[in-house]
Amino acid sequence: MSIGRTRTRTRVGQYVALAAYVVFLGFPLVWLVSTAFKSTQEIALGATGLIPSSPTLDNFSAAIEKANMIEAGRNSLVVALATTVLTVAVTLPAAYGLARFKTILRPITMGWVLISQVFPTILVIIPLFLILKQFQLIDALPGLIIVYVVFTLPFCLWMLIGFVAAIPVDLEEAAAMDGAGRFRILISIVMPLLRPGLVATALFAFISAWNEFLFALVLIQTPSKVTLPLTLSRFVGAEGQVQIGALAAASLLATIPSLLFFALIQRRLTSGLLTGAVKG
């Protein structure tokens, strides 16, 4: 009887704790959405209710107009897509080579992956700035794309090597016996089997490029070339108190693509794990 009671008490405690976590994690998100739909007057009056008294879409149009959202969104999209395509194109052969051949490059690469994950960006960014300047890649989207490819590459490589290693070698050996060349094997045998890994890598590259801020801040100056995080950060400085609703709306719009892509990755990863479990 008493054991039952302590168990119920534990359960209640657990639910209280879970509720506290849900509030801590979820409340700021709800607040962002709520602020995005509040009218300027309501915000100015300091009304701190959770539900907007007269929901409006004005903030979204103001955000699109004043925060340079369309142009910045297009720049962000171009940069993120180019980064994704280039990263996958460069990572795929490298991951295949490193997973399939024993070479001294493998421990070196792994060491580099570790270093690149822990190094303060600020230390690299100054010399990088000067090098890019020599190539006239400062204040240009191609320069930003190159930098993003180089800095998302290590983690993508590490991820993809794991996926390649999971594909049985027998298949490739059979194809080689039938006379298929190395390139042919890569295209028609490895690629199709590697699709989940490629999707995960691509989405990771996309989100990284879409969210990145520091490189863009240092490398981009012209207003017509800014990315979304940049334009958002400038909007904070320039408009301050007055445009809080528009700021929330702009942030919400900028988050939607990465949230969508993240949801995609998640499903991919879980389905990948599930199929692995079934086969195992």
Among 9, 182, 184, 195, binds other proteins (CB under 8 A): 182
Among 78, 236, 239, 268, binds other proteins (CB under 8 A): 236
214 binds other proteins (CB under 8 A): yes
153 binds other proteins (CB under 8 A): yes
Q: In this structure, what token pair is assigned to residue 125?
A: 């960014």
Among 78, 211, 239, 269, binds other proteins (CB under 8 A): 211
| CA proximity to 122, closest of 247, 238, 14, 215 | 215
Among 47, 171, 187, 238, binds other proteins (CB under 8 A): 47
165 binds other proteins (CB under 8 A): no
Pick 78 or 125: Cβ nearer other proteins: 125
The count of chain residues that interact with other proteins, using the rule CB under 8 A, is 86
Q: How far is the CB of 197 from other proteins (least distance, A)?
A: 16
Question: Which phi and psi (to 5°) does residue 206 adopt?
Answer: -60, -50
187 binds other proteins (CB under 8 A): no
What are the C-alpha distances in Å from 9 to residues 19, 42, 115? 15, 43, 48
258 binds other proteins (CB under 8 A): yes
Sign, Cα dihedral of 9, 10, 15, 20? positive
Q: How far is the CB of 275 from other proteins (least distance, A)?
A: 19
Q: How far is the CB of 157 from other proteins (least distance, A)?
A: 7
Q: How far is the CB of 237 from other proteins (least distance, A)?
A: 8
Distance, in Å, from the CA atom of 89 to the CA atom of 156, rounded to the nearest integer, reads: 11
Instruction: Show the site string, 103-132: x = touches other proteins by CB under 8 A, - = not.
Output: x-x------x---xxxxxxxxxxxxx-xxx
Q: In sequence order, what are the residues at sequence separation of 6 or more whose Cβ sits closer than 8 angstroms to the Cβ of residue 268? A: 196, 199, 200, 203
- The stretch near other proteins (CB under 8 A) out of 29-37, 62-70, 189-197, 271-279 is 29-37
Q: Is 68 left (phi over 0), alpha (psi -120 to 50) or beta?
A: left
Give CA torsion, residues 90, 94, 96, 97, to 10 deg.
150
Pick 120 or 192: Cβ nearer other proteins: 120
What are the C-alpha distances in Å from 179 to residues 173, 174, 175? 10, 9, 7
**CB–CB of 154/87 below 8 Å?**
no
241 binds other proteins (CB under 8 A): yes
